[in-house]
Amino acid sequence: MLPKFIVTISVLACLATRAFAGCAIAPDGNGNVVIPNTWTSIGDQAFRNCRSLTTVTFQEDSQLTSIGDGAFYQTGLTSIEIPSTVTSIGDSAFGSCSSLTSLTFQEGSQL
């Protein structure tokens, strides 16, 4: 009999395209999602139509470099502060976010 091995990958570097589309994984009870500082990108349409999402928090020392096309399209976002490490934001990343009143960039941002 061959031994069984279980391999666990503990570090996720990116959020895949349409990963949470339609809130397949819901934000916490306050409408917040925390993006780990190990992630380097948020894929296209990752949170599309996730209307219960109101805030996104990026952990300190974020390594995020890109936010994909439509990543937060039609969410309930009210505000977001983009980490200074982000160098690209895709088309309509925040499109149709009718509640979005504040989009700011951390000091040192090249955007």
**pTM here?**
0.80
What are the beta bridge partners of residue 42? 15, 67
CA gap 58, 54 in Å, rounded: 14
Angle 13-17-22 (CA atoms, 0-180°, nearest 5)?
Answer: 120
CA gap 95, 98 in Å, rounded: 8
More confident residue, 46 or 85: 85
More confident residue, 79 or 26: 79
Q: What is the pLDDT of residue 96?
A: 96
Q: What is the pLDDT of residue 27?
A: 87
Q: What is the pLDDT of residues 31-83, one digit of tens each?
A: 998 888 998 998 888 889 989 999 999 999 999 999 999 999 999 999 999 99
Task: Check pLDDT > 60 for residue 91.
Answer: yes
Q: What is the pLDDT of residue 12?
A: 44
Contact 55, 80 (CB under 8 A): yes
